[in-house]
Chains A and B, each alone.
Chain A
Amino acid sequence: DVKVTQSSRYLVKRTGEKVFLECVQDMDHENMFWYRQDPGLGLRLIYFSYDVKMKEKGDIPEGYSVSREKKERFSLILESASTNQTSMYLCASSTFQAAGPEQFFGPGTRLTVL
């Protein structure tokens, strides 16, 4: 059974803290993604990675950075958390193979910044 796991389901942080969100996939997928999900806005892409140590900005990268040192792990970093980064964060992975562009999602991390 395919699996994407995220390090925390719920997280509460203070303004200005550095926050690390971890994502691990066990499907040997090349691509990994970080989204945030807000009511009425759907899923917005923050960053994605198509290979180890490779990354590209998504639609809303400001205030975030990422790290992919191993194929199975993709980390999202909030350098200095702010209240407008309170959101649900979803990690996903996919493969280049001809099975289609399906992305497999983790359960999400609900981050609250106070």
Chain B
Amino acid sequence: QKEVEQDPGPLSVPEGAIVSLNCTYSNSAFQYFMWYRQYSRKGPELLMYTYSSGNKEDGRFTAQVDKSSKYISLFIRDSQPSDSATYLCAMTSNDYKLSFGAGTTVTVRA
């Protein structure tokens, strides 16, 4: 069993829809939870970062962490074609090594 599970999709939604992405994990020591966005032929870039449980909002993006269920989510409101990318969850305990999900490919149709 992988340490971090993420449905690879692909996910296709119409412009303006809410995109919902999630990951589950098995290591209860994870404290830092991140979402990276990766455009085609580019390296991943950090989108959002949450420490421990709770919600974090940044514009159209909301990240949620439920440590009791070992489940994290990313919501994209009012999705735009420019949001079309692969979204990777990543997490770590208290060191510099990250454990990544497989990534979910999202296409927002105009």
Residues of A in contact with B (beta carbons under 8 Å apart): 4, 9, 31, 39-45, 48, 50, 58, 90, 92, 94, 96, 100-108
Most buried by B among A43, A94, A101: A101
Sample 26 A-B pairs with CB under 8 A, ordered by A number: A4-B43, A31-B96, A41-B102, A42-B6, A43-B88, A43-B98, A44-B100, A45-B97, A48-B97, A50-B96, A58-B97, A92-B43, A94-B96, A96-B96, A100-B49, A100-B51, A101-B32, A101-B98, A103-B46, A103-B96, A103-B98, A104-B46, A105-B43, A105-B45, A108-B41, A108-B42
Tell me how many residues of B have a C-beta within 8 Å of chain A. Answer: 23
Q: How close is B41's CB to chain A, nearest CB, in angstroms?
A: 8
Task: State in angstroms the CA–CA spacing of A50 and B88 once bound together.
Answer: 24
Residues of A within 8 A of B49 (CB): 100, 102
Are the CB atoms of B102 and A40 closer together than 8 Å?
A: yes
- Rounded to whole angstroms, the CA-CA distance of A48 and B98 in the bound complex is 11
User: Which of A45, A100, A105 contacts B32, CB < 8 Å?
Assistant: A100
Number of A-B contacts (CB under 8 A): 55
The residue that A42 contacts in the complex, of B41, B51, B88, with Cβ under 8 A, is: B88
Query: Which residue among A39, A90, A96, A105 has the maximum number of chain B CB atoms within 10 Å of its CB?
Result: A105
Selected contact of B8 from candidates A9, A40, A58, CB within 8 Å: A40
